[in-house]
Amino acid sequence: MNTTPLIFVLYDSVTNSVFEGQIKSLLHKKARENPYRPVHLVTFERHTPRVNIESNTIRVTCLKRIPFVGWLSLWYATKQLTSLLKMFPDYTIIARGPLAGTIAQNALKQPACKEFIIQARGLLAQEYQYMCAQKKSSSLTQFIHRIRIAQFAQVEKKAYRTRSSVPKTIEAVSPALKDHLISTYNTQTEHITIAGDDIPQSVTAQQKKEWRTHVRTTLNIPEEWTVYCYNGSAKAWQKPHDVLSFFNHTRDKHPNSFLLILTTDITIFKRLIGDSISTAHYALISVSHKDIYRYLCAADYGILFRDNHLINWISRPTKVLEYQAAGLDIIHNNTVAYMIKDEKL
């Protein structure tokens, strides 16, 4: 039985919206699969988390994260992780993303490190560039952004090139991302896999029936009505205006339609909706992650619209996995390769 400690390195903070569904649940799954294997979460935080994330099965160590100013920030993070790893005679490392991956790669020691995996969950430089393009900024700020984009690209290159002195496996989130990393960073095909451990388990038919009945009764949604669910925020890249336009167009054709919006941006959605939808035809609800599937099971369709951009094309949105786990048909705009049937074969 494998008793080598598993060390999961996180640089995106436990406050990230995907932490509960994509990281914490994965670590608990790893702990259940092998109760004799210690599981450690090492997270870099700018401030001490307000929530207690430690449990009987997961040990948590918070290290200091300073603002990103290039390799200096990663050097400081590497120094901290190096000191921590000296406590373990051997270990396996899973690092989430290229920043955590580069830090871990610089800190680990051989032969103590028995296995090294970097989870590729997106494109760091492309995502930062996309975010900057949404904002108006001065010439000086744009210049700083270009430097940062170049720095992030170098971090990705270091993390995803597998011809190095440190044996590692890259775990891509989708076949489209896998192909991109191979063509862009010369990641060796034999050292890159597709992630599967963090896909949530499907809700059973009996459980779905119970939750569907309970939630529809609570929200006064007739059983014969068709429920469309949008699960996400009101950020522009999630195209909330398109979601509302789609539903209004659908409701005009099919009056017995209902829009269930699961979001933390209640106030923003109320303003966006205004008087365009009768209160009898929609509900705005903010729910914790542990209750998300209960509400998803009340729906028939899940909605996911994204911009036509590389960062969306190569992604595997968490919302898609949640919709699929609840057995929903997904309405999308063909901007995510993972949603195209042949992509998952």
pLDDT tens digits, one per residue of 255-305: 999 999 999 999 999 999 999 999 999 999 999 888 999 999 999 999 999
Would residue 277 count as lying in a domain?
Answer: yes
pLDDT in tens, 2-19: 899 999 999 999 888 888
Query: Domain count of the chain?
Result: 2
The C-alpha atoms of residue 7 and residue 58 are separated, in whole angstroms, by 10
pLDDT over 80 at 329, yes or no: yes
Final residue of a structural domain among 171, 194, 217 = 194
Q: Is the same domain home to 270 and 169?
A: no
pLDDT over 50 at 330, yes or no: yes
| CATH number for position 255 | 3.40.50.2000
Count the neighbouring beta carbons within 10 Å of the beta carbon of residue 277: 17
Q: Is the same domain home to 211 and 329?
A: yes
- Asked whether 88 and 5 are in contact (CB, 8 A), the reply is yes
pLDDT over 80 at 316, yes or no: yes
Q: Please, which pLDDT band fits residue 340 given cuts at 50, 70 and 90?
A: confident
Would residue 199 count as lying in a domain?
Answer: no
DSSP three-state, residue 6: strand
The C-alpha atoms of residue 236 and residue 228 are separated, in whole angstroms, by 20
Q: Which of 60-74, 95-109, 241-255 has the lowest mean pLDDT?
A: 60-74
Closest CA relative to residue 230, chosen from 154, 332, 81: 332
Final residue of a structural domain among 154, 172, 194 = 194
The pLDDT, as a whole number, for residue 135 is 83
Helices (H), ranges, 86-204 = 97-107, 124-133, 139-160, 175-185
Pick the residue with more confidence: 55 or 93?
A: 93
Cis peptide before 111 (omega within 30 of 0): yes
Give the contacts of 333 (CB within 8 A, at least 6 positions apart): 242, 305, 306
pLDDT over 90 at 175, yes or no: yes
Q: Please, which pLDDT band fits residue 345 given cuts at 50, 70 and 90?
A: very low
Would residue 32 count as lying in a domain?
Answer: yes
Is the full-model pTM beyond 0.85?
Answer: yes
φ, ψ for residue 22, nearest 5 deg: -105, -25
Tell me how far CA of residue 231 lies from CA of 37, 83, 264, 285, in angstroms: 35, 41, 10, 10
The C-alpha atoms of residue 182 and residue 188 are separated, in whole angstroms, by 6
Final residue of a structural domain among 130, 165, 194 = 194
Share of the chain above pLDDT 90, in %: 76
Over residues 30-43, the mean pLDDT reads: 93
In the chain, the DSSP E strands lie at 6-10, 39-45, 58-64, 91-96, 113-120, 169-172, 192-194, 226-231, 257-262, 282-285, 301-304, 329-332
Q: Is the same domain home to 104 and 37?
A: yes
DSSP three-state, residue 56: coil
Q: Is the same domain home to 214 and 165?
A: no
Per-chain mean pLDDT for the chain: 93
Q: Is the same domain home to 183 and 209?
A: no
Q: Is the same domain home to 212 and 290?
A: yes
pLDDT over 80 at 89, yes or no: yes
Closest CA relative to residue 92, chosen from 58, 61, 108, 116: 116
pLDDT over 80 at 95, yes or no: yes
Q: Is the same domain home to 173 and 316?
A: no
Closest CA relative to residue 233, chosen from 245, 243, 247: 243
Would residue 315 count as lying in a domain?
Answer: yes
Would residue 279 count as lying in a domain?
Answer: yes
Q: Is the same domain home to 293 and 333?
A: yes
**Domain that residue 210 falls in:** 205-344
The pLDDT, as a whole number, for residue 303 is 98
Share of the chain above pLDDT 70, in %: 97
Tell me how far CA of residue 217 lies from CA of 14, 210, 298, in angstroms: 35, 11, 10
Over residues 152-176, the mean pLDDT reads: 91
Would residue 272 count as lying in a domain?
Answer: yes
The pLDDT, as a whole number, for residue 51 is 66
Closest CA relative to residue 311, chosen from 115, 122, 50, 139: 122
Q: Is the same domain home to 185 and 270?
A: no
By DSSP bridging, strand 113-120 and strand 169-172 are parallel
Closest CA relative to residue 326, chosen from 168, 215, 179: 215
Q: Is the same domain home to 187 and 53?
A: yes
Would residue 242 count as lying in a domain?
Answer: yes
Tell me how far CA of residue 319 lies from CA of 17, 54, 85, 116, 269, in angstroms: 11, 25, 34, 28, 18
Q: Is the same domain home to 290 and 251?
A: yes
pLDDT in tens, 105-157: 999 998 999 999 999 999 999 999 998 988 888 888 898 899 999 999 999 99
In 15-172, the DSSP E strands lie at 39-45, 58-64, 91-96, 113-120, 169-172
Would residue 1 count as lying in a domain?
Answer: no
Give the contacts of 125 (CB within 8 A, at least 6 positions apart): 149, 150, 152, 153, 156
The pLDDT, as a whole number, for residue 344 is 47
pLDDT over 50 at 201, yes or no: yes
Q: Is the same domain home to 130 and 229?
A: no
